[in-house]
Homo-oligomer: A and B are copies of this chain.
Amino acid sequence: MLNCGDSAVNLSGAAPIFSALGDPVRLAIVARLCKDGPLPTIELKQCADGVSRQGVTKHLQVLEEVGLVESDRTGRDRQWRLQAQQLVAVRDYLGWISAQWDQRLELLRAFVEDDA
């Protein structure tokens, strides 16, 4: 478990979320929900160009499985909203991982300067 600040993200937990974000349609859906807040399925269908309603539903289910979105049905249609914690967690994971990289670069720089 890699503890980085208040959001503890382990590697095996992050991969499925990246995988979920790895499809252009799903990424567009997440981006849309970030921008415009809770939306019904039909509205999110516009994110997927030429994909059927069932196709979009499948994508939404994938996002739901990894906890990136949640939904409840209000009457006839289903409202989808973002679960920001997961997004923040994976963002922080990338931040943490690239911080390690920066640290390595810094060490290398210091080493070279010492040597010179």
> Interface with B: A23-31, A51-59, A71-79, which one?
A23-31
CB < 8 Å neighbour of A95 from B37, B82, B91, B108: B91
Interface residues of A in 86-116 (CB under 8 A from B): 87-88, 90-91, 94-95, 97-98, 100-101, 104, 108
Assess whether A22 is interfacial by the CB under 8 Å rule: yes
Q: How far is the CA of A111 from the CA of B36 in the complex (A)?
A: 15
Interface flags, A17-46, vs B, CB<8A=1, else 0: 011111110011011001111000000000
Chain B residues with Cβ under 8 A from A37's Cβ? 104, 108
Whether the Cβ atoms of B15 and A18 lie closer than 8 Å is: no
Whether the Cβ atoms of B28 and A11 lie closer than 8 Å is: yes
Assess whether A14 is interfacial by the CB under 8 Å rule: yes
Whether the Cβ atoms of B100 and A90 lie closer than 8 Å is: no
Whether the Cβ atoms of B88 and A98 lie closer than 8 Å is: yes
Interface residues of A (CB under 8 A from B): 11-12, 14-16, 18-24, 27-28, 30-31, 34-37, 82, 84, 87-88, 90-91, 94-95, 97-98, 100-101, 104, 108
